[in-house]
Amino acid sequence: MSRLLALLYGAVSYAVFLVTFLYAIPFVAGFGVPKHIDNGDPAPFLVALGIDLALLGLFAVQHSGMARPAFKRWWTRFVPAPIERSTFVLVSSAVLALLFWQWRPLPQPVWNVDAAALRGTLLALSALGWLLVLSSTFLINHFDLFGLRQVWFHARQRKAMDEPFVTRAFYRIVRHPLMLGFLIAFWATPTMTLGHLLFAAMTTGYILVAVKFLEERDLVALYGDTYRDYQRRVPMLLPWPKRQRTDAATSTATPQPTRH
């Protein structure tokens, strides 16, 4: 594949991601776009529940499956390495777009906050959650996460340096600020319907399982004791400070390896 074509493919994938991400904000909020979490084709309760669970399950399987190191090793035999990340981003965006399109509303109210000040506070909190998601991507390396950096270096015939392990800013407070941002954005709502509750609860369960049993295992395999030490010092998702241990194990300075 020509380098220019790969660059174009990466740019298109990034643009598709950006549109999908920006659509996700009003979709979850339940206003501001034609199709959101609380509207669309009504369906009998069990049908709507089944469709919504299938859409969430599809996203979980696709997203975590394609991010497994073994899967990446297998499919880069067919997909050129420089566009591997862009392809992941494109497929993830397509699955999310399908979810937005086919999501069936379950409009039964769970809670509804009337007080204007509290409504505003919850909406502001949700916006802060989205901001935390976006700013965390820039702390790791936004353009690497979404595949642009790989196609850019490929186009310039340069080898991209591995990304460094990040422990600064939000990553000093929790190990997964990006996921914490999602949780805040999904739960902080003045009007919680049954459909929104299903979405928030299932994505929370997925995030907890995926972070603890998939991502952190990969990170330990990659960074070894550096990551184990980070796990001891910094909480996973809730920003409560951990009790500092003073034994040699935790005070040993560890080298800062790089992310592949």
Ligand X SMILES: C[S@@+](CC[C@H](N)C(=O)[O-])C[C@H]1O[C@@H](n2cnc3c(N)ncnc32)[C@H](O)[C@@H]1O
Binding site for ligand X (CB under 6 A): 136, 140, 145, 165-166, 171, 176-179, 211, 215, 219, 259
Nearer to ligand X, 177 or 190 (CB): 177
* Spatial separation of the C-alpha atoms in residues 34 and 103, rounded to whole Å: 13
Nearest distance from residue 178's CB to ligand X, in Å? Answer: 3
Nearer to ligand X, 52 or 144 (CB): 144
Nearer to ligand X, 125 or 140 (CB): 140
Nearer to ligand X, 84 or 215 (CB): 215
H or E element that contains 109:
strand 109-112
Task: List Cβ neighbours of 50 (8 Å cut-off, separation of 6 or more).
Answer: none
Nearest distance from residue 208's CB to ligand X, in Å? Answer: 12
Query: DSSP letter string over 155-223?
Result: HTT-PPPPEEP--STHHHH-S-HHHHHHHHHHH--SEEEHHHHHHHHHHHHHHHHIIIIIIHHHHHHHH
Backbone angles phi, psi at 259, to 5 degrees: -90, 140
* Spatial separation of the C-alpha atoms in residues 66 and 73, rounded to whole Å: 10
Nearest distance from residue 113's CB to ligand X, in Å? Answer: 28
Cβ count near 184 (within 10 Å):
18
Nearer to ligand X, 178 or 197 (CB): 178
* Spatial separation of the C-alpha atoms in residues 100 and 52, rounded to whole Å: 10
Nearer to ligand X, 60 or 192 (CB): 60
Nearest distance from residue 219's CB to ligand X, in Å? Answer: 6
- CB-neighbour burial class of residue 173 (10 A; exposed 0-12, middle 13-18, buried 19+): middle
Nearest distance from residue 185's CB to ligand X, in Å? Answer: 13
Nearest distance from residue 222's CB to ligand X, in Å? Answer: 7
